[in-house]
A and B are shown apart, each in its own frame.
Chain A
Amino acid sequence: GESVGLHLPTLSVQEGDSAVIKCTYSDSASNYFPWYKQELGKRPQLIIDIRSNMDKRQGQRVTVLLNKTVKHLSLQIAATQPGDSAVYFCAENTGGSYIPTFGRGTSLIVHP
């Protein structure tokens, strides 16, 4: 499958601020985009996902935007907390694939 690329390897924000993690993908056949969060020393866990027939999806303090025209994804985390400090992976499932291809991850650091 196609690799997903990330704009920034590390993002630092102050507690309470918003954080935006950006991602690009190159396979126009990709139809599903999950985001996983991995805290230090822990396993990755799904936090939100979006399908290609959607432009936006909201969760608790997190929003994912999908721009299929330019093949961009973004994960917005509102009112960040120290517990949001983690590596965030965007991923994509191309059509017919049951397993997502992960990007390298963005390390988010939330300063108290």
Chain B
Amino acid sequence: KAGVTQTPRYLIKTRGQQVTLSCSPISGHRSVSWYQQTPGQGLQFLFEYFSETQRNKGNFPGRFSGRQFSNSRSEMNVSTLELGDSALYLCASSLGSSETGELFFGEGSRLTVL
């Protein structure tokens, strides 16, 4: 079956702009979570959506937002971009019904803010 798909894979923005990233989960997966990855900072959790509802949220400013559609596809939006937002943004999907569920990651969207 198809894996987790993220688009776009690469993008360049300037400070102050906004960006929308998309994530299509594995078929049947209802949970989509988003992570920011920067060198030396590991995988920092942004938020998780399950059945169109935000179920968990990390410690990121309100400029970071997301949503999930009825087909489980998810988008995340970053408004008023800052240089420090340059990172690899990974999404992961899972069934979302178990505390021990495996996360399946996409290849990520690499955002560069100039």
Contacts and interface: CB of A to CB of B under 8 A. Distances in A.
Interface of A: 9, 31-32, 34, 36, 42-46, 49, 51, 89, 93, 95-105
A51 B42 contact: no
B31 A98 contact: yes
A12 B59 CA distance: 33
B45 A104 contact: no
Contact of B99 (A31, A36, A45, A46): A31
B85 interface: no
A30 B40 CA distance: 24
Contacts of B97: 98
Contact of B56 (A43, A44, A51, A99): A99
Given A43-B107, A44-B43, A103-B42, 6 more contacts: A31-B99, A43-B106, A43-B108, A44-B105, A45-B105, A104-B41
Interface residues of B, number: 28
A98 B97 CA distance: 7
A105 B42 contact: yes
A20 B44 CA distance: 24
B101 interface: yes
B76 to A, nearest CB: 15
B33 A99 contact: yes
B45 A102 contact: yes
A101 B108 CA distance: 18
B103 A100 contact: yes
Given A44-B90, A45-B105, A97 B42 contact: no
10 contacts: A43-B4, A43-B90, A46-B102, A97-B56, A98-B56, A98-B101, A99-B45, A102-B43, A102-B45, A105-B42
B70 interface: no
Given A34-B102, A43-B108, A98 B48 contact: yes
B96 A98 contact: yes
